[in-house]
Amino acid sequence: MRIAILSNGPGNYSTKRLKEVACARGHEVKVIKYRDCYASIEQNNPTVSYKGEDLEGFDAIIPRIASHMTRYGTAIVRQLEMQGIYTVSGSLAINRSRDKLRSMQVLAKAGVGIPKTVVSRNSTDIDDLLEKLGGTPVIIKLARGTHGNGVVLAESKKAAKSVLQAFYLSNEDGTNVLIQEFIEESAGTDIRAFVVGGRVVASMKRQSLDDDFRSNLHKGGEGVAIKLTEEERKMATKAARAMGLNVAGVDMMRSSRGPLVLEVNASPGFGIETYTKRDVTTPIIEYVEQNAKRRPKKDKIGA
């Protein structure tokens, strides 16, 4: 099978793991730096070129699109989808997951447990907003923030209003600002469930190492393997399915009313393998093998 990995480069850990496992299973793999691709858009002839050559003859693509390259990356994925190439994560699902407001709306409609969330463009409504959330403290976040960036804990009404005003003033691109209830019993910890093909293949608890309420590993958090409850397992797979993602990192927190989903990541990091000693890469390649249709044999693809 011919597989293309759309990535920032071959040095990325997840990219190396995907190529390593796919090659070991007898597949031809090409790592494509999608930011260097260009698309030719014309009627009935969607093409993507890379290093002067048209990309064709692939059975499947595995997108690993960085958050800051979502628009361009998903445009390339969409162009390849138009060629009829199987993609593990579709362009629509990736875009949907990257917008926190949109994803919260999708998850809520699907019946997935989420923290109470409000969105507003007017800081003068702060009294009513906080009342809907049960008062302070609250979490304020940019709808397109990643790795814990653009996320602030406001412990008082005054602080919440100041943060909102600052976000609105500095937010020239119109990104929505979300305000969420603060789950005190889960402060500084969350759970990452790695979902492939509708099943959880690995899970870990992430814990901040200081007083930071964020547990992201990018912020210095620490991961440890954890066994999910049946309710958490079902919630993780339900969230991934609602977002339309076959491979997803579902971030949840434990609350007094059950698991609450914080985010569904379309390109979850593979560092979970280090913390849990569980292989999450092989299930992805197996999923590709089971779902992609082989194309007629052509010349071999360069590595």
Walking along the chain (303 residues) 10 residues at a time, the average pLDDT comes out as 93 94 97 96 91 94 95 96 95 94 95 92 79 89 66 88 77 73 82 97 85 54 90 98 98 93 95 95 98 64 40
CB 92, CB 40: distance < 8 Å: no
Q: Can you give the pLDDT at residue 145? A: 56
User: 23 pairs with which residues across the strands?
Assistant: none
Distance separating alpha carbons of residues 250 and 268, to the nearest angstrom: 9
For residue 105, give the amino acid letter. Q
Task: Provide the whole-model pTM.
Answer: 0.86
Q: Which of 287, 273, 267 is nearest to 97 (CA)?
A: 267
Structural domains of the chain in order of their starting residue, each with its CATH number: 2-89+285-291 (3.40.50.20), 96-112+185-266 (3.30.470.20), 117-182 (3.30.1490.20)
Burial category of 54 from C-beta neighbours within 10 Å (exposed 0-12, middle 13-18, buried 19 and up):
exposed
Q: Can you give the pLDDT at residue 125? A: 78
User: 180 pairs with which residues across the strands?
Assistant: 117, 139
CA 133 and chain centroid, separation: 26
Q: Which of 139, 178, 144 is nearest to 159 (CA)?
A: 139
Tens of pLDDT, residue by residue over 256-269, are 999 999 999 999 99
Residues 6 or more apart whose Cβ sits within 8 Å of residue 225: 202, 203, 204, 275, 276, 277, 278
Q: Can you give the pLDDT at residue 299? A: 43
Distance separating alpha carbons of residues 42 and 294, to the nearest angstrom: 26
Tens of pLDDT, residue by residue over 40-60, are 998 889 999 999 999 999 999
Q: Can you give the pLDDT at residue 295? A: 60
For residue 3, give the amino acid letter. I
**Preceding omega of 137 cis (within 30 degrees of 0):** yes
CB 191, CB 251: distance < 8 Å: yes
Q: Can you give the pLDDT at residue 31? A: 97
